[in-house]
Amino acid sequence: MIGVPTFGFLNKGIGAIADLISGDGDIDDVDELKGAARDIQDKTKGLIETEKKRTPPREIAAFREEFGDILENLGKTLVVFVDNIDRCSPKQAIHTLEALRLFLFLQNTAFVVAADEEMVRGSVAAHFKDINERHITDYLDKLIQVPVRVPRVGVQEIRAYMFLLFADAAGLDSSVIEGLRRGLEGSIQKSWKDEPLSRKDALALLSGKATEELETAFEIADRLAPILANSSAVQGNPRIVKRMLNVVRMRTRLARRREMSLDEALIAKLALFERCTDAGAVAALYRTIQEGNDGKSILLQTLETASTEATSFKNAYPDEWPQKHFDFVREWMLLEPKLADVDLRPAVYLSRETVPIRAMRGGMSKRAAEALKLLINAPSINSQAPRIALQAMDRTEAVSVMEALLAEMRKVADWVNQPPGWHGALILAETAPETAELLARLIRNVNGTKLKPWLRASLKRAPWWDEQRERTK
C-alpha cells in the first residue's frame, strides 16, 4: 500500500493471521507469523529509513564544498562577469548580490561586477527598509573588495568615438576603421603630453577613403564633442551619444528622400537641443518656428544676436524656459550653423517623433499649445490655469492635445509613480469626455487589470473611468 515491495514474504503469515483472527490459531501459527515479520525486516532493511533533516545552510555548505573541490581539481580560476545588475528591480538586484555572496570566498573564483553604483545603492536602500547611508556603504564594501571606478569620458574621448561612429556609418572597410581606431587610441593615450589628433590628421588615417560627407561629419563631431561631454543631460555617456547620432542620420536620410534642403549639421544642432533641454523648452522653440514667417523664428534671431554678450543674452532668455538650461542654451546658440535665417519647418517636421506637441502636419494652434504646456505641468487635478486655457481653446483640438499628453506619458514604462502630465490628462478627460477613452486605453495597456495604489486612488474621483470600464466588459 505504501509502495514497499513484499517479495512474497507476507504470504507466509497470511494463513497464520487468518487462523488467529478466526480463533483457530495455535502456537505454530504464532511462530510462523513471527518468522514472517523477521524476514520482512531483514529483507527490507534500508528501503525505509527516517529522512535526514536537510536545511538550507547544510545544503549551501555541501554545495560550496563540492564546488570548491571541483575548481581545485581542475586547477582553473573561474571568472564570472556580471553586467546590467543596475537595471534590475531592487528585489532582483539584491537577490543577485546575495547569490554572489555564496561564491565570493571560494578559492579560485573571481567576480567582476559592472554596474552604476548609485543605482545599486538605491536598490539596497529600497530593499532594506530604513537603512542609513553608512550601512549601505558597509553592505557594498563587503561585496566589492576591489572597486574600480571608470573615469568620466572627456571631450577627446567623445570626439574620437564620434569620428569612429561616422566612419562606420559611411560604410568604410573594417581595416580602414581599425586604422582610424588605432590612431585615435594612440593620440588619447598620449594626450597628457601631446596635442590631440587634429581633424585633418584623423581624416588622413582613412587611407584616402575620406569623402566630402565624412569631412562634414568630422567637423560636426568637433563642434558637438565639448557640449556632449559637459552637458548634464549627456555627461559623455557613449550610449546617449550613439543614440543621438542615430537620430541625426535617420532624419538626414528622411530629408533626402523628401527633397528637403537640410544640412546634417543643422539637424544635429536641433537634435542636441532636444536631448539637453526638456519637452517644454523644445515645444516653445518649435512653436515659434511654426508661427514665424517662412519658418524663421523671431526668438532665435533675438537670442543669436544677444549670445555674444552675457547681459544681453540674459535679458533675451525667454521666461518659459527653465533657468537650469541657461548655460547650455547660450553655448548652443554659439554653435555653427546659425539658425535664425533658415526655414526650419522641414526640421520641425522631421522631429515630430520626438516632440509630440507638433505631431500634426499643420501643427496645433497657439492656444492649444499653451493649454498642452499647462496640462503637462499641472501640479494637481484642482489646478485652475489649465482649465481656463482649455476653455479658451477650440474644442475640436481636445483629442490632439490628449494624444500629445499620452505621448509624454508613454515615455514612462513602469508607472511606479505618476508619469508627467497625469493630472493634466485627468483634467482634460473630465473637461472633454471624448478624450477619456484614449486615456483609459493607455491606463489598461500600461497597468493591465491590477492598478497601482496611487492610480486606483486617483481614479476614484474620475466618474469617466467607471463608464469606460463598463464599456470594456
Residue 368 is assigned to a structural domain of this protein: yes
Q: Are residues 460 and 404 in the same domain?
A: yes
Residue 305 is assigned to a structural domain of this protein: no
Q: Are residues 102 and 131 in the same domain?
A: yes
Query: Does residue 279 have a pLDDT over 80?
Result: no
> To which residue does cell 514474504 refer?
9
What's the average model confidence in pLDDT over 443-463? 78
What's the average model confidence in pLDDT over 262-289? 85
The pLDDT-based confidence of 356 (bands split at 50, 70, 90) is very low
The pLDDT-based confidence of 163 (bands split at 50, 70, 90) is very high
Count structural domains, the chain. 3
Q: Are residues 416 and 383 in the same domain?
A: yes
Cα distance between residue 238 and residue 196, in whole Å:
19
Q: Which domain holds residue 77?
A: 56-143
Predicted pLDDT of residue 240: 86
432: left (phi over 0), alpha (psi -120 to 50) or beta: beta
Predicted pLDDT of residue 469: 64
Of 251, 231, 320, the C-alpha closest to 279 is: 320
Question: For 147, which DSSP code?
Answer: -
CA torsion, ordered 248, 413, 411, 457, to nearest 10 deg: 180
- Indicate whether this model's pTM tops 0.85: no
Q: Are residues 448 and 406 in the same domain?
A: yes
Residue 220 is assigned to a structural domain of this protein: no
Q: Are residues 74 and 38 in the same domain?
A: no
Query: Which residues is 113 bridged to in the sheet?
Result: 82
Residue 351 is assigned to a structural domain of this protein: no
Beta-carbon contacts of residue 22 (< 8 Å; ≥ 6 apart): none
Predicted pLDDT of residue 201: 92
Which stretch, 11-15, 214-218, 365-369, has highest mean pLDDT?
214-218
Cα distance between residue 424 and residue 380, in whole Å:
8
Where is the domain boundary, 143, 159, 179? 143
Q: Are residues 369 and 450 in the same domain?
A: yes
Query: Does residue 1 have a pLDDT over 60?
Result: no
CB 306 within 8 A of CB 215: no
Residue 398 is assigned to a structural domain of this protein: yes
- Torsions phi, psi for 75 (to 5 deg): 70, 30
Q: Are residues 90 and 37 in the same domain?
A: no
What's the average model confidence in pLDDT over 185-214? 88
CA pseudo-torsion sign 359, 365, 366, 372: negative
Query: Does residue 353 have a pLDDT over 60?
Result: no
Residue-wise pLDDT for 73-131, tens only, equals: 888 888 989 888 888 888 888 888 888 877 767 788 888 988 888 888 888 888 887 78
Query: Which residues is 110 bridged to in the sheet?
Result: 79
Q: Are residues 80 and 14 in the same domain?
A: no
Q: Are residues 78 and 135 in the same domain?
A: yes
Cα distance between residue 112 and residue 277, in whole Å:
36
Where is the domain boundary, 143, 177, 195? 143
CA distances from 231 to 227, 228, 270, 324 (A): 5, 6, 15, 11
Q: What angle do helix axes 238-257 and 264-276 make, rounded to 10 degrees?
A: 140
Residue-wise pLDDT for 328-340, tens only, equals: 898 898 888 888 8
Percent of the chain predicted with pLDDT > 90? 10
- Torsions phi, psi for 114 (to 5 deg): -105, 120
Cα distance between residue 86 and residue 80, in whole Å:
17
Residue 273 is assigned to a structural domain of this protein: no
Cα distance between residue 190 and residue 203, in whole Å:
19
Predicted pLDDT of residue 17: 47
CA angle 64, 67, 69 (to 5 degrees): 105
Where is the domain boundary, 143, 170, 203? 143
Q: Are residues 385 and 434 in the same domain?
A: yes
Q: Are residues 60 and 110 in the same domain?
A: yes
Long-range contacts of 416-421 (CB under 8 A, 24+ apart): 416/452, 417/454, 418/454, 418/458, 420/279, 420/376, 421/375, 421/376, 421/378
Q: Are residues 64 and 111 in the same domain?
A: yes
Question: For 290, which DSSP code?
Answer: H
Predicted pLDDT of residue 8: 52
